[in-house]
A and B are shown apart, each in its own frame.
Chain A
């Protein structure tokens, strides 16, 4: 019994303090998949896609069924406008910013969470994953 505190001290002395590995999964890109009303994937020939806060179109003449678009890390809302087939759809995405110090050696990073849709011209938009992470394949599904 008398040796228990000394054993605990030994464990403490020999244990190592490890900073978190710098495995940063934060991204400022929201991934959107486009679907037909029947649920099948739809490839759309976008003439252009604009992002609020950016002066130039983000994509031009791009066919895609899955697309990654940036959110503004200095805001809690971004508006995407999709131009195709002589029509356009607007999608307003809102999110919360969260800042974490990962470790002293890795530094601080910003994460976006609680992604949701506040306005949309699509028939339906489903939130598949509300966090913007590099290992998330789809955040939103937009139905025509």
Chain B
């Protein structure tokens, strides 16, 4: 199945995501690819980032019998992201005066693990709808110097070792085999 999903988010977020999975009876191989950017106002400056990410991993159906109407699943994902970010802010040092900081990271890489669960239900013919809940853990980043990465596209806030995510999706099922 192939879907375009969009994460519910606030006005400072823009992104899109495409999902695909292959059904091996009660098991699925799922691949996601997405792009997101954030623009935040800070008390004394601003932060922006943009980048792409992918996730890949297996799902297992929780239903004893494979259904053409509904699928409940549990899964695990490996996620990876490549992004850039920019931070501008001012600070007041009591001895050295006011300082402007304008610093960027380019080509930062992030990775993480996800535990997923969700539901997909048939709406009409090949059209399905569903959601995925994500428990994201173990983020790590490399490729930066002075600015510690703040927000990882596909994951969220780097400082948070556990992060929840939620996607709602619309799918189109492409039959590849006779049932």
The interface of chain A, by Cβ under 8 A from chain B, is 1-2, 4-5, 8-9, 12, 15, 17, 20, 28, 51, 53-54, 58, 70, 72-74, 96-101, 104-110
Of the four ranges (under 10, 10 to 19, 20 to 34, 35 or more), the interface on chain B belongs to 20 to 34
**A73: contacting residue among B47, B89, B93, B159, CB under 8 A:** B93
B residues within 8 A CB of A96? 146
Across the A-B interface, how many residue pairs have beta carbons closer than 8 Å? 84
A residues within 8 A CB of B11? none
Q: Tell me whether B179 is interfacial, beta carbon within 8 Å.
A: no
Bound-complex Cα distance A72 to B91 (A): 13
**A97: contacting residue among B146, B164, B166, CB under 8 A:** B146
**A74/B99 in contact, CB under 8 A:** yes
Given contacts A53-B96, A100-B150, 7 further A-B contacts (CB under 8 A): A4-B74, A9-B133, A58-B95, A72-B96, A73-B96, A98-B148, A108-B47
- Of all A-B residue pairs in the complex, the 5 with the closest CB atoms, nearest first, are A101-B150, A107-B43, A107-B42, A70-B95, A108-B89
A residues within 8 A CB of B137? none
B residues within 8 A CB of A100? 147-148, 150, 159
Q: Tell me whether B118 is interfacial, beta carbon within 8 Å.
A: yes
Task: Mark interface residues in B79-118 (1 if CB within 8 Å of A CB, else 0).
Answer: 0000000010101011110010101000000000000011
Q: A15-B164, A73-B93 are in contact. Are A101 and B47 (CB under 8 A)?
A: yes
Q: Tell me whether B18 is interfacial, beta carbon within 8 Å.
A: no
A residues within 8 A CB of B91? 73, 109-110
Q: Tell me whether B31 is interfacial, beta carbon within 8 Å.
A: no
From B95, B119, B146, name the one whose CB has the most chain A CB atoms within 10 angstroms: B95
